[in-house]
Structure 1
Amino acid sequence: MPVRAFEILCTHLQHLLEAEAWEPALLHLRQARQTLTGREEATRLYHICKAVPEAALERVEWAEELAWVAYRADAAELAERAAARHPDELAAFAAWLLVQREAYAEALVQAERALQGRGAAVAWRMRAMARCRLGLPDWREAYLEAAQHMQRHATERDHGLCLLEYGAQLTYAGDNFAARSVYAEAISLLRADPYMLAYAYYNLGIACLRLYELHSAASAFEHALVEAQRPKGQSMLSLAWRGLGSARRARGEFPRALHAYEESLRSATSAHGRIVALRGIGHTQRMAGQLDAALLTFYEALREARHPEQHSVYADIAAAKTQIGDRAGALEAAGRTDTRDHEDAQRLRIVQAELQRQAGNVAEAAELLQGVDLTRLWAFEEARAFPALFALRDYAVPPAEPMRVRVSADGAIRAWVNDVPVSLRPAALEASLLALLLWHGGSVSVERALDALDVPGSNERLRKQALSRAVVALRRALGWKTAVHADGQLLTLDPGVIWSALEVPTPQRAQDFCAGRFDRWVTEWAEVYL
């Protein structure tokens, strides 16, 4: 049902509750609950339900509907009250509450009781979660059974959430091939929920990263970003940008990765989000050889930490100090590293191995490196930072190459970074500006650009402002802030990037040059051959 239907149901429900018309109110509540498509709507419904008197919970029908609302809005207190009134009929929601408390054995007992009763979809999902968290060997079958039940008896969103969770467990278990296909199915079921759809695309990107499918990973993260930019998905913005940053860094696109992580930092809404984004920036700076900048970024991340005296960021600091040759500083940072996260523990092991190698203890270094999982993407990246160390295991990674940008003006203007198309609007001013810069060897004066391009504005000041906006749009399309340098007099393409010569049509097809643009320079170019 469209969002409008949910709004109408909520309005009617509020009026019915005010009028104490309990039977029609119950029907409207059930229909609104079945209609909602995301957490935001569930939260709104939960606040409306605060007007329901406590006495209504005596009826199991009311208690079930309120428990459903609590489940969808993640409001444990309301679910507890409802389940406590009807422990036999609402065991499914008791199972959910127990899973929240990580009481998985008790949750499994409650879920098994409710597989054919009220809230059965919740019970099947909690059964699978509990079996997985308890390490039972049939947890995969449990998730498949839950998904089959939901396909027949639950909403598409519930089915999609179950599959999304199953995919996450597969990823955690290292079965990224299976996770990838499960995420694809989940995505098809979550189209009406931008928040969860962004999260599903993000998870798909992570699975692709772990499979070294870097192009597919970047594509998934870009889809996540599209969904996160919708009004109901914006709390996923930081995560989506962070994922895109990791894919770009893995491809050696360090300037584009930095831009993505900076956007992640800008849109982060929690200290944890800011710390992770800053670690991404610092790690990218490390991989790009900007070690002093990386250390500054890592210390900035520590300032966000509640307990900075012992933190996972010290693994990054230890790695950077090892690279610059500060052995004492690296050892001190290593001793302050929180190693509960597997990747941080492994990075610390790499640091310890490199310090041994630098001290001439090659055998000890090789032994430490034996404990590092070389199949992981972060190991691939660390091998670039410590090539001599990883050579002890005959593991060689070619150094990251400069980014390559290719632009075609043969027809509509298109651009590729490392052979991956970018979202350049071919008929927009910024597209013609890019082609103009390339045609002139990477640099033109502002005066020449204003003369050559069809820049809107009734006077020079307005035209310069429009040109400035086109520069910003071009940077955004290419994916990094320094893609175009502007000093007020001169526009210059980033010299640290390899820019291929502008691709143009043959003289016989000169009319196809920069198709869709009618700038002065485009017309003059075509007239040479016509």
Structure 2
Amino acid sequence: MLRAIALQLAAGAARARRDPDWEAAFHRAIEGATGRDRGIARCRYAGALSEFPGRAKSEYIKALPDLRSDHYSISEIWNRVAYIDLHAGQYKDAAHAFDRALEASLRQKERRSDGIIYVGMGSVFGALGAYPRALHQFRKGLGQSASISQHYEMRIAIALTLAAMGLRAQALEEATLMAAEVAEAATEPQPCLSILAAMRLLNGDVPGAEEALAQAPIHNELDRLRWHVVRAELDRRAGNAAGAQRSMDQVNVNLMRNVRSTGRLFPEVYTLRGVVIDTPPWTVRCSLAGPVRLWMYDIELPLRSTRPAAGLLALLVTHGGRVSRERALDALDLPGRTPDARRKALSAAVAELREVLGWPESVAVQGACWPSAKNRCGWSRSTQPQAARTCSARGAMTPGCWSGDLSA
């Protein structure tokens, strides 16, 4: 064991001093270890391969069997794999990896990784433009923050998501409260002032945006991007095209492609660097061919086909998205011997289906719920062999709500 640790330390030192044989040193550390020590050595090698994300991902995956009894390490590995996929735009793979990370985290007592996992899950769907689901994940992560900096990054994500949903007044309120909290706790201005500047600008307060931006420091590349995007937009609106271009020339283009919500909020200045953020149609697909299955985009959601929530989804799909409580109680195989117990079971099924879909308003329980004309969705059904049905909902921003009088 001591020899394995010594080899890992030697490899890390070789990497730090940029020794041309540093990879060979890591290979010796891996080959000289067994079991958990070998898994740790692979993870350290993967971390050293940060400039080569594809290779890093491969090494993380290879480390999993050696660390299978260490739930914390398994969660960390899947979380890192997920972020590699997220930054590569592989959203389906990223969502799967985040699910695996959360599954491992839930087996721990302390569950230190939950917050960053929920942020990642929100980032996947935010990148695609499914903002209500992203917002729900960010808010879940907010309650699981492992550090002050993580807490405020989640607050920033919430403000940006609200703005991207068109809820700009709420976004400004969130950013204002966050900035006030930071000002009270910190001894110097913080980068979140760039977000306050952005929200003020989106709400038409140009002087307020200038004031906040003038105080906002830059600590890293993400801070730099946020600061210069707001500066460029201020210059663009003032007719200073040259100033806007100079600001955007300071920004990392590759980072811009990953910071997609900001690009949708300020598309004109993103195009100054040739970056256009697309928003694919928001699709939700349900298959009734055998066990009930559900996909958002091409990402399969964790719907358990034996649960009442799956039966409720099938009922909503086959009845045009609206059912009465009485119809649901009659059609579903719900637990409980008394009418009151079955109504409570139906309420639990509604809550479970909302959680699977990813945001509280995805299933309305009273009255009608229609999408706006701008974000209108339609359901289509096609008959497949053995009477199997696949139903799809499509919407530019918000899928239609399934509704009915389902309240207990």
After TM superposition, the score normalised by the length of structure 1 is: 0.67
Partner of residue 434, structure 1: 313
Superposition deviation, residue 264 in structure 1: 0.9
Aligned-partner Cα distance in 1 for 2:381–2:294: 10
Q: Identify which of 84, 100, 107 aligns with 1:223.
A: 100
What is the Cα deviation at residue 257 of structure 1? 1.1
In the alignment, the residues of structure 1 paired with residue 141 and residue 59 of structure 2 have an alpha-carbon distance, to the nearest angstrom, of 27
Please list every run of 5 or more consecutive structure 1 residues that lacks an aligned counterpart in the other structure: 1-33, 35-118, 515-530
The aligned residue for residue 245 of structure 2 is 366
Match of 1:145 in 2: 25
Contact 1:405/1:418 (CA < 8 Å) preserved in 2?
yes
The answer (yes or no) to whether the contact 2:309–2:349 under 8 Å persists in 1 is yes
Residue 189 (1) aligns with residue 70 (2): no
Distance 1:289 1:403 in 2: 16
What's the CA shift string for 1:324-372, capped at 9, x where partnerless?
Answer: 3322222222123231121111210111111111110111211221222
The CA distance in 2 between the partners of 1:330 and 1:308, in whole Å, is 21
Query: 1:216, 1:245 → 2: CA distance?
Result: 14
- 1:445 aligns with 324
Asked if the contact 2:193/2:213 (under 8 Å) is kept, the reply is yes
The 5 A counterparts of 1:399-414 are: 400-401=279-280, 403-414=282-293
Structure 1 residue 213 corresponds to structure 2 residue 94: no
Quote the Cα distance in structure 2 between the aligned partners of 1:466 and 1:474: 12
Share of identical aligned residues, percent? 31
The reply on whether 1:249 has 2:130 as its aligned counterpart is no
* Offset of residue 159 of structure 1: 2.5
Structure 2 residue matching 1:267: 3-state secondary structure: coil
Whole-angstrom distance in 2 between the partners of 1:195 and 1:466 = 34
Conserved? CA contact 1:314–1:333, under 8 Å:
yes
Pair 1:491–1:231, CA change in 2 (3 A): farther
**Structure 2 CA distance, aligned partners of 1:497 and 1:218?**
26
Amino acid at match of 1:455: L
Deviation at 1:493, TM superposition (A): 8.4
Partner in structure 1 of residue 156 of structure 2: 279
- Determine if the alignment matches structure 1 residue 315 to structure 2 residue 198: no
Distance 1:264 1:392 in 2: 34
**Structure 1 residues 177, 231: closer, same or farther in 2, change over 3 A?**
closer
Alignment pair present for 1:166 and 2:45: yes
Report the counterpart of residue 125 of structure 1 in structure 2. Answer: 8
Is the deviation greater in 378-387 or in 201-210?
Answer: 378-387
Q: Which amino acid aligns with 1:436?
A: L
2:230 is the counterpart of 1:351: yes
Paired residue type of 1:149: A
Please tell me the root mean square deviation across aligned C-alpha atoms, in Å. 2.6
Q: Compare relative contact order (CA 8 Å, sep 6+) and give the higher one, 1 or 2.
A: 2
Equivalences for residues 333-348 of structure 1 within 5 A = 333-348=212-227
| Partners of 2:119 and 2:138 within 8 A in 1 | yes
- Helix, strand or coil at the partner of 2:364: strand
CA distance in 2, matches of 1:340, 1:499: 46
Deviations 1:399-453 (A, max 9, x none): x355221112222211111122111112221111112112222121212211222
For residues 481 and 127 of structure 1, the distance between their equivalents in structure 2, rounded to whole angstroms, comes to: 51
Deviations 1:157-201 (A, max 9, x none): 233223323323432xx3222222222223333222111111111
Q: Which moved more, 1:431-440 or 1:296-305?
A: 296-305
Structure 2 counterpart of 1:523: none
The equivalent residue for 1:528 is none
* Larger helix fraction of residues: 1
Give yes or no for the alignment of 1:297 onto 2:180. no
Q: Which runs of 5+ in 2 are unaligned?
A: 391-408
Larger radius of gyration: 1
The alpha carbon displacement at 1:224 in A equals 0.8
Q: Confirm or deny that 1:395 pairs with 2:275.
A: yes
**Bigger Cα displacement from structure 2, 237-246 vs 382-391:** 382-391
CA distance in structure 1 between the partners assigned to 2:370 and 2:67 by the alignment: 41
Question: What residue in structure 2 maps to residue 328 of structure 1?
Answer: 207
Task: For 1:303 and 1:207, locate their aligned partners in 2 and report how far apart those are by CA, in whole Å.
Answer: 34
- Aligned partner of residue 338 in structure 1, secondary structure: coil
Within 2, Cα distance between the matches of 1:209 and 1:358?
32
Match of 1:483 in 2: 362
User: In the TM superposition, what whole-angstrom CA distance separates every residue of 1:475-511 from its partner, at most 9, and x where no partner exists?
Assistant: 1122222211123xx58687767453355555xx35x
The TM-score, its normalising length taken from structure 2, stands at 0.85
CA distance in 1, matches of 2:232, 2:344: 54
- Equivalent residues of 1:446, 1:491 under 8 A apart: no
State the distance in 2 between where 1:504 and 1:413 align. Answer: 15
CA distance in 2, matches of 1:287, 1:339: 23
Conserved 8 A contact 1:403-1:418: yes
Q: What amino acid sits opposite 2:251 in the alignment?
A: V
User: Deviation at 1:124?
Assistant: 2.6
What is the deviation of 1:204? 1.0
Q: Deviations over 1:285-326 (max 9, x none)?
A: 233232222222233434554317511211222222222332
Specify whether residues 271 and 371 from structure 1 end up closer, same or farther in structure 2 by C-alpha distance, changes over 3 A only. Answer: closer
| Inter-partner Cα distance in structure 1 for 2:339 and 2:283 | 34
